[in-house]
């Protein structure tokens, strides 16, 4: 895969690139911050994750993103997919595996939910305990499209995703991250807007 490499010199020569990068970055992290703020508000109303029995899960109605603790489920540990980190520094610090995906079924073996664990996990370790996280649909792209690029997304019949260990607590640092990066990209826009304006003014001197 080839990536476009933009140097500081390129940005000085073509300041509109810096403005464009800043606007795109602000749009992305404003959306990230919005999702985190929405989750924080909604999950704060719950106070605690909603206890959800997989055997009683009703899939006949439009599903609303929830913070839940799943019980009475079975993990299909024969269906496990792991995605790898590509950044060398991240691999050294946090390990080679980025996410682990497996399928949650009911007692009859019907695929209901794809569980997404952060990092490298051993499926059997979670077989008998409850799982807490954000339960949403496979069409919810609030935190990216990583699942849709997996092999499992093409084969599973499950329509829901459980983002394990995410919820009220995890929304606060994500919101803070969104605000920080918004400020960083705003400075990009301001800096290169001024440089772009200066270049335009010199054309008419």
Domain ranges in the chain are 11-48+168-205, 50-166
Measure the N-to-C terminal CA separation of the chain; round to a whole number of Å.
Answer: 44
Per-residue model confidence as pLDDT tens digits over 84-141 = 888 887 788 888 999 999 999 998 999 999 999 999 999 999 998 899 999 999 888 8
Q: What pLDDT band is residue 11 in, cutting at 50, 70 and 90?
A: confident
Is the pLDDT at 148 greater than 90? The verdict is no
Share of the chain above pLDDT 70, in %: 96
What's the pLDDT score for residue 205?
59
Q: Does pLDDT of 160 surpass 90?
A: yes
- pLDDT of 2 > 50? The answer is no
pLDDT at position 149:
83
Identify the pLDDT of residue 178: 92
The CATH class for the domain spanning 50-166 reads mainly beta
Question: What's the pLDDT at 62?
Answer: 67
Q: What pLDDT does 60 receive?
A: 66
Q: Please give the order of strands across the beta sheet that includes 131-137.
A: 50-53, 66-71, 131-137, 160-164, 111-118, 97-105, 74-84
Mean pLDDT of all residues in 45-56: 91
> 99 and 117 in contact (C-beta within 8 Å)?
yes
On the question of pLDDT at 7 being above 90, the answer is no
Give the closest residue to 38 by CA, choosing from 184, 160, 174, 177. 174
Beta-carbon count within 10 A of 175 CB: 19
Q: Reply yes or no on whether the pLDDT at 16 is more than 50.
A: yes
Q: In terms of pLDDT, which residue wins out, 46 or 143?
A: 46
Asked if the model's pLDDT at residue 1 lies above 70, the reply is: no
């Amino acid at each position: 895969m080839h990536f476009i490499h933009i140097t500081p010199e390129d940005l000085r020569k073509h300041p509109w690139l810096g403005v464009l990068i800043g606007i795109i970055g602000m749009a992305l992290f404003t959306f990230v911050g919005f999702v985190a703020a929405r989750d924080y508000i909604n999950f704060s109303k719950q106070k605690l994750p909603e206890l959800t029995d997989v055997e009683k899960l009703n899939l006949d109605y439009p599903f609303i993103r929830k913070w839940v603790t799943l019980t009475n489920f079975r993990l299909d540990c024969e269906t496990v997919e792991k995605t790898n980190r590509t950044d060398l520094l991240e691999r050294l610090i946090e390990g080679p595996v980025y996410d682990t995906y497996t399928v949650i079924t009911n007692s009859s073996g019907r695929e209901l939910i794809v569980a997404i664990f952060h990092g490298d996990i051993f499926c059997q370790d979670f077989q008998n305990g409850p799982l807490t996280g954000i339960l949403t649909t496979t069409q919810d792209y609030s935190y990216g499209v990583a699942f849709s690029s997996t092999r499992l997304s093409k084969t599973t019949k499950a329509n829901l995703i459980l983002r394990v260990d995410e919820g009220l607590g995890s929304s606060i640092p994500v919101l803070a991250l969104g605000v920080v990066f918004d400020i960083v990209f705003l400075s990009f826009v301001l800096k290169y807007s001024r440089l772009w304006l200066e270049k335009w003014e010199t054309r008419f001197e």
